[in-house]
Amino acid sequence: MSAHPQHVVLGYRRELRSRHEPEMNDNERLADAARKIRIRALIVPREHGAWGLLFIPLFTGLAAGVAPAYHIGWLLLFTLAAFFLFWLRTPVESLVGSGVITAYSSAERRAVAVASALLVSASIICLAVLLWGGRNSELIRIGLIAAMALGLQTSLRRFGRAARMSSQLTGAVALTATAPAAYYLGTGRLGVPALTLWIANWLFAWNQIHFVQLRIHASRAEGLAGKIAVGKYFLAGQLMLSAALVSAAVARFVSPLLILAFVPALVRGTSWFLRAPEPLNVKKLGWSEMKQGIAFGILLAAATLLH
């Protein structure tokens, strides 16, 4: 007779399975969570600052062109279209391999393709309603400029870190295009005020992008001399921007009130050179720049309304 009857052996095997199953389940849950996080990264835009560069100009254009009630629907459709098109870039780049993360497995490619198809469909519906019957045709011109800027940005990305800031500044041309588009939808006109809003929002984006890059590259700079050595081009840009704004106001190309919208950013950028060295906190910097963007948007909108 066996020392381990069959029912004892079966019981022993069940006990072994019960001991290992929790570990296997935990591993499976971790793997499943990792897959979900990766798919989310493949689909959802990670550039949080870019959302501000998209919607703050939209807000300024909307405020400057205070729309009659019958244009509110168009502005809502345009906002949705801009949102969907901006979101679309991330899954498309993941699918074609031009983004930070590339979809490799069949499950990843399927998820990204489905998300892209849904976003394309939603964008087409919004734009079709906006452009139906030949109305709002100037949006096509703005859209073409934005598309060319995004195409150039994609080309610049191939040069890597050396062209990072140039790439971001080129992309900002497309993102800030929401300002003249919103103004046009509100007023029915695409003239100097719309172009002024576009340029003003892009100049702020340039200042913000340059400052963030400066803070990253100058994280170890100490003292005024060390900071100037690293940030001399940014400081020169601050001075040139200030001079350009004052000159434009004196020549009456823009309202003097527009200068006030840039004051917080100019003070923030210049005062950094005089502050004591501090460790780089990327999260804190992100929140600080978000507040700068909101302040700029409110001040620019106020300056446009009061002019």
Q: Give 57-116 pLDDT, tens digit per residue.
A: 989 988 887 766 557 788 889 999 999 998 888 888 888 776 677 878 888 888 888 999
Q: What is the mean pLDDT of residues 256-272?
A: 92
pLDDT of residue 240: 94
Which among 177, 166, 172 is positioned nearest to 213, based on CA atoms? 166
Gyration radius from the chain CA atoms: 26
Is the pLDDT reported for residue 12 higher than 60?
A: no
pLDDT of residue 108: 81
Q: What is the mean pLDDT of residues 14-40?
A: 64
Q: What is the mean pLDDT of residues 252-259?
A: 88
**Cα–Cα distance for residue pair 28/43, rounded to 1 Å:** 23
Say if residues 108 and 38 touch (Cβ distance below 8 Å): yes
The highest-confidence range among 29-33, 274-278, 293-297, by mean pLDDT, is: 293-297
pLDDT of residue 26: 65
Q: Which two tokens stand for residue 272?
A: 């950094």
Share of the chain above pLDDT 90, in %: 37
pLDDT of residue 25: 65
pLDDT of residue 176: 94
> In this predicted model, what pLDDT tens digit does every residue of 39-58 receive, in sequence order?
888 888 876 677 788 889 98
Residue 64: which residues within 8 A CB-CB, separation 6 or more? 179, 183, 186, 193, 197, 301, 304, 305
Look at the block and give the residue holding tokens 């940014």: 234
pLDDT of residue 151: 87
Say if residues 180 and 197 touch (Cβ distance below 8 Å): yes
Buried b (16+ CB within 10 A) or exposed e, 177-194: bbbbbbbbbbbeebeebb
Which among 75, 74, 50, 73 is positioned nearest to 62, based on CA atoms? 75
DSSP output for 112-148: HHHHHHHHHHHHHHHHHHHHGGGTTTHHHHHHHHHHH
Q: What is the mean pLDDT of residues 264-272?
A: 93
Rounded alpha-carbon distances, angstroms, from residue 105 to 102, 158, 192: 10, 24, 49
Q: Within 10 Å of residue 213's Cβ, how many Cβ atoms? A: 15
pLDDT: is 223 or 180 the higher one?
180
Is the pLDDT reported for residue 286 higher than 50?
A: yes
> In this predicted model, what pLDDT tens digit does every residue of 129-182 receive, in sequence order?
999 988 899 999 999 999 999 889 888 888 877 788 888 899 899 999 999 999
**Cα–Cα distance for residue pair 278/179, rounded to 1 Å:** 35
pLDDT of residue 104: 83
List of domains in the chain: 18-306 (1.10.600)
**Cα–Cα distance for residue pair 209/50, rounded to 1 Å:** 10
Say if residues 258 and 249 touch (Cβ distance below 8 Å): yes
Residue 206: which residues within 8 A CB-CB, separation 6 or more? 169, 172, 237
Q: What is the mean pLDDT of the chain?
A: 84
Residue 69: which residues within 8 A CB-CB, separation 6 or more? none
**Cα–Cα distance for residue pair 138/130, rounded to 1 Å:** 11
Q: What is the mean pLDDT of residues 180-197?
A: 89
pLDDT of residue 52: 80
Q: In the Cβ-directed half-sphere of 244, how many Cα atoms lie within 13 Å?
A: 12
pLDDT of residue 118: 94
Q: Which two tokens stand for residue 236?
A: 């020169």
Which of 34-38, 273-277, 286-290 is least confident? 34-38
pLDDT of residue 8: 41
**Cα–Cα distance for residue pair 131/218, rounded to 1 Å:** 47
